């Protein structure tokens, strides 16, 4: 296959010809005002012949921490557990400046784009350690990169709300600054009563500001920690169906079958999204296990079978929680497929959905994909199928955002 050496970054594409879709179909679509549509290309517009490439919708990362990214080398070594990772990050967080966060976040946004992701939902710490500095920095980075990707921010109380007095006020200020979603971490509170109060505070804030919620939930090996049911119950009681995301949900794998069935059904009724982050949780969870070490991920199979919307997220890039990562959702999908034992053709198709259309459902997009009305965000691979791109871990040859070429990747290889 030829490389798109003649296509310059910044090119506005008017027509996509000979699109090869993942289901084997061929298509031709025009681009007008950044959206896909039918009909001929606008006069004089650039025609991109996609015959030699597999076309996929650009990926969506539903769970990222842009404010923490790229600080790993500046932290003291720790034992790898979640509490130690949080503690190790405290000192660095006290040293944050808006410009520091802005530069690191922008670098990771650009890395996402190079790897084919044009929508990122980022949790941002809001607490009495860093105040609103992390949020201001990430929002500035999102503005700097608005020509490359769309970034939505989540006010995330990493240190708790009741356990970190002053955070409740900061959370409100974050929403007033324009933060897109309300975050939470109820299992970090000391008692079940405090955990429930934490959940109710987050929903109160979401209702007041008319925001969706995206909470860290039960990121622990302890099957007795059960704030997921609190979240699902609150969503149902307040009519917040389809507007709540729960990330991690690791403890569900250690819980008893009766609870698992009950809470998964409630998640289904509440039309919640569960975001699993295997790349990080494989690293963090099960640290105290010996012999048979738990994988540290949620019950992906049972959630899928119940019809709960399920996504995969990058979560971390070279921070106190995870030493690797580059914002590559193809890599995330491959690692997640290993962790969740996804191997059949149907299961591998699900791996694509988990970083694509399922994530679009979480964002509540009116249109997504390679279809009329969708934003013209595409990735083109030198591959014949999604499974080939996944297996070979290819970089996309071309990345489009709103119909404009925002990244190209060229790999030249020679073998005697």
Rounded CA separation 84/75 (Å): 11
Instruction: Report yes or no: 65 and 30 within 8 Å, Cβ to Cβ.
Output: no
Picking from 207, 216, 197, 120, the residue whose alpha carbon sits closest to that of residue 159 is 216
Angle at which helices 98-114 and 133-144 cross, to 10°: 40
Rounded CA separation 158/86 (Å): 8
Is 341 exposed, middle or buried (CB count within 10 Å of its CB: 0-12, 13-18, 19+)?
Answer: exposed
**Cβ neighbours of residue 129 closer than 8 Å, sequence gap 6 or more:** 90, 93, 94, 159
**Which residue's entry shows tokens 């009563």?**
193
DSSP character at residue 294: -
Instruction: Please report the sign of the dihedral spanned by the C-alpha atoms of residue 312, residue 314, residue 319, residue 323.
Output: positive
Rounded CA separation 8/12 (Å): 9
Q: How many CA atoms lie within 13 A of 115 on its CB side?
A: 22
Rounded CA separation 78/345 (Å): 40
Q: How many CA atoms lie within 13 A of 93 on its CB side?
A: 25
Rounded CA separation 392/389 (Å): 5
Is 104 exposed, middle or buried (CB count within 10 Å of its CB: 0-12, 13-18, 19+)?
Answer: buried
Picking from 91, 63, 16, 115, the residue whose alpha carbon sits closest to that of residue 381 is 115
Which secondary structure element, helix H or strand E, spans residue 177, and what is its range?
helix 167-177
Catalytic residues: 219
């Amino acid at each position: 296959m030829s490389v798109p050496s003649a296509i310059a970054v910044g090119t506005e594409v008017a027509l996509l010809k000979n699109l090869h879709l993942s289901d084997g179909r061929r298509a031709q679509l025009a681009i007008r005002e950044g959206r896909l549509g039918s009909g001929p290309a606008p006069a004089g517009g650039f025609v991109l012949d996609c015959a030699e490439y597999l076309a996929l919708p650009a990926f969506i990362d539903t769970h990222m921490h842009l404010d923490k990214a790229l600080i790993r080398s500046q932290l003291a070594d720790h034992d790898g557990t979640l509490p130690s990772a949080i503690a190790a990050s405290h000192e660095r967080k006290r040293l944050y400046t808006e410009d520091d966060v802005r530069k690191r976040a922008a670098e990771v946004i650009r890395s996402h784009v190079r790897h084919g992701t044009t929508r990122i939902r980022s949790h941002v710490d809001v607490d009495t350690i860093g105040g609103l500095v992390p949020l201001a920095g990430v929002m500035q980075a999102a503005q700097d990169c608005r020509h490359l990707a769309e970034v939505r921010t989540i006010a995330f109380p990493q240190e708790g709300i009741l356990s970190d007095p002053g955070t409740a006020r900061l959370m409100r200020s974050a929403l007033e600054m324009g933060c897109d979603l309300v975050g939470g971490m109820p299992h970090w509170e000391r008692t079940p009563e405090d955990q429930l109060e934490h959940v109710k505070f987050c929903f109160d804030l979401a209702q007041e500001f008319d925001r969706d919620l995206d909470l860290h939930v039960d990121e622990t090996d302890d099957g007795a920690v059960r704030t997921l049911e609190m979240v699902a119950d609150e969503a149902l009681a307040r009519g917040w169906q389809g507007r709540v995301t729960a990330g991690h949900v690791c403890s569900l794998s250690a819980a008893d079958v009766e609870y698992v069935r009950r809470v998964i059904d409630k998640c289904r009724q509440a039309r919640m999204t569960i975001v699993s982050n295997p790349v990080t949780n494989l690293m963090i969870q099960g640290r105290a296990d010996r012999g048979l070490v738990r994988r540290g991920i949620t019950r992906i199979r049972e959630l899928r079978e119940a019809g709960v919307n399920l996504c995969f997220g990058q979560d971390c890039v070279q921070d106190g929680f995870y030493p690797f990562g580059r914002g590559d959702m193809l890599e995330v999908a491959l690692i997640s497929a290993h962790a969740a034992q996804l191997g059949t053709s149907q299961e591998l198709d699900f791996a694509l959905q988990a970083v694509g259309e399922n994530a679009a459902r979480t964002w509540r997009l009116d249109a997504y994909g390679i279809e009329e009305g969708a934003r013209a965000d595409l990735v083109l691979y030198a591959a014949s199928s999604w499974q080939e791109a996944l297996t070979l871990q290819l970089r996309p040859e071309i990345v489009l955002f709103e119909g404009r070429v925002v990244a190209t990747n060229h790999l030249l290889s020679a073998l005697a």
